[in-house]
Amino acid sequence: MFTKSDLSFDEIAADPVRRRAKIVELSRSRTLFFWCFITASIGALFCIWTGRASGSILAAALLYGVVVRLESDLRLLRVVERLQKDLNDKHVA
């Protein structure tokens, strides 16, 4: 089901230039979605406090899922970046 997405991610992880660009992009996206999550969470807490039913709880939960996915991809790319750097440093020495 996610084969195309996995292949694209693999290609990005293998290419140093694209990997660095993707790290910057994911970092910005994660920050943006994190603040959206915080805003939605505050809205959900306000709705709970006032006793109104709202979809803001669902929105906050979905945004949290997006933040976790972005953080996961970002960490994976950073690990690949560090491993590649360590490998290059060992070859130079």
Does residue 11 belong to any structural domain of this protein? no
Q: How far apart are CA 14 and CA 77, in angstroms?
A: 10
Does residue 76 belong to any structural domain of this protein? yes
Mean of the per-residue pLDDT values of the chain: 90
What's the domain count of the chain?
A: 1
Does residue 62 belong to any structural domain of this protein? yes
Q: How far apart are CA 22 and CA 16, in angstroms?
A: 10
Does residue 8 belong to any structural domain of this protein? no
Whether 61 and 37 have beta carbons less than 8 Å apart is answered as no
Whether 26 and 73 have beta carbons less than 8 Å apart is answered as yes
Give residue for tokens 């970002």.
Answer: 74
**Does position 74 have pLDDT exceeding 90, yes or no?**
yes
Does residue 58 belong to any structural domain of this protein? yes
**Does position 93 have pLDDT exceeding 80, yes or no?**
no
